[in-house]
Structure 1
Amino acid sequence: MSYDLAVWDGERPIDDRQAGAIYDELYERYLESDDVVVPPVPRIVAYVEALLARYPDDANHSVVWASPPVIEEASGPLVYLLMSYGEAEEVSAYAAELAREQGLVCFDPQGECLRL
């Protein structure tokens, strides 16, 4: 079981509804399609690197990430974070704060809401 967050580079949506629509479009465009592989944009790479500096994603020892390596869940302006449920409260709070500090949007697809 995992807790998921989506983080993207773009303008901040005005509300949860708009954020959900943007998330759906980005997810479909960048993560659902296997036809075209789009490298993550530099701001997403920097975000993932900063996140992994605190919570490494060693595939053999990670208790935080449900699907390491995390960078493989990044495409274009979007990264989809899959966290182990037991670690989700702490890690998601840090991930959301880091996104805010870096001027990125953080969205909770389960709750269909922005993470502030």
Structure 2
Amino acid sequence: MSVELMVWDESAPISRDQARAAYLAVKKSEPVAGDVPEVAKELPGVVTVYPGHVLVTMDLDTMDEMSAQVFTVARAHGLVCYDPQRDLVHNVTPLGVYEGMQLHTGDGMIVHDPDLGLVHDVLATMSPQNPFVTLVNFGRHFIQVSPGYELEYKEEALARTMVAELAEVQRAFHEYATGDRSFLARHDWTA
């Protein structure tokens, strides 16, 4: 079985709906022959070039490792990346305040310097197949959540709290990513 990612240029961040529509439109079009864009030469997997878009196909077994490479190349070139399997869009901006921050999911996705929209959207994908989402600044601190919305934060010591709704989890992750620690005062934390 194979999976796909699509990369292309956008002038501003786009929604998952816009990314999905672009992907579906490209899938209905014909690939182009001839000159291959520079970015296509750097991408792993099987690369197919469409007008203004590059489709990367990879094996399911190598998806996690190769997806991380595609995300990195796309970001380096200022390109959007759409993951149709997860229905997630990786925009170039806006980013959090921590350079090198990583997003990890329980289903194997790792993204360096994730955009804030991706962080928001990926939190809604938690399930038995994706049992956690973590934002980590290695050697400094992290925030993590698991289904049932058990929120964990660690800086000096690990603290836990239960959060009632996804929207509050998304708010806490956004605050963490932007350097705002208001989420710490809003909840009762236990060691």
TM-score range, shorter chain: 0.5 to 0.7
The alignment partner of 2:86 has SS state of coil
Choose between structure 1 and 2 for higher RCO, CA contacts under 8 A separated by at least 6 residues.
1
For 2:65 and 2:8, the matched residues in 1 are separated by 20
- Root mean square deviation of aligned Cα: 2.3
Instruction: Give unpaired runs (5+ residues) of structure 1.
Output: 32-37, 56-64
Question: Is 2:69 aligned against 1:77?
Answer: no
- Structure-2-length-normalised TM-score: 0.41
Q: Which amino acid aligns with 1:29?
A: S
Q: Which amino acid aligns with 1:81?
A: V
Question: Residues 85-104 of structure 1 correspond to what in structure 2 (within 5 A)?
Answer: 85-104=60-79
Per-residue deviation, 1:82: 1.0
For 2:12 and 2:88, the matched residues in 1 are separated by 12
For 2:72 and 2:60, the matched residues in 1 are separated by 18
CA 1:48–1:95: 2 relative to 1, 3 Å: same
Instruction: Give unpaired runs (5+ residues) of structure 2.
Output: 91-113, 115-191
Per-residue deviation, 1:99: 0.4
Higher Cα Rg, which structure? 2
Tell me what 1:26 maps to.
Answer: 26
Identity %: 32
Per-residue deviation, 1:40: 6.7
Per-residue deviation, 1:85: 1.3
- Structure-1-length-normalised TM-score: 0.64
The total of aligned residue pairs comes to: 91
Tell me what 2:2 maps to.
Answer: 2
